[in-house]
Structure 1
């Protein structure tokens, strides 16, 4: 995150500030003005959402580095959230394969917070 934002000595909690800025749709304002090549809005959004996932208070929800690479390279929104708990095996069977036919986690889709699901 600090790479995108630059040095912000006046900010007490960088993560909380970034969440507030993204939540208030002020993502463009978090980019370090000293960066010569400004990222596209889409690339910035992808980088910020990925960064926020990496600092999730629940360590089980943080992505592995291989997932971070895929998130940053992905062209899809929303970026699928892969919970580490789902990758563990239970009774010799991968939990991920047990869930293949279950519904997608609602937290992955912003629209689901209001009760609607993407089609």
Structure 2
């Protein structure tokens, strides 16, 4: 089982970011954190790196269910989605596969939540065009 789902698009980076954010909203996710990796690496290490954003996405009702079922699950939240420039014309979007990460947690109460979030994140990635 892959630990992520991904899709590569021939699209402008900023437009892909807009599309990803819009698709996440359609599935009930908000963006809690946004990490601009290339800016951070430039600032902290003075290295040039491709455009790379990490979006910390959260679906509050499902996050609440997961936290109720397993109090340490917050170590795996929020669900990360990355947008990265692969070359001049392509941008890749990848989202974590919650089912893969939840396998490490031996708690059957999380199965339904993990399945639902997995389907919603797959929907986000699959609808990108």
Same fold (TM over 0.5): no
Give TM-score, length-normalised by structure 1.
0.32
Greater share of strand residues, 1 or 2?
2
- Which has the larger Rg? 1
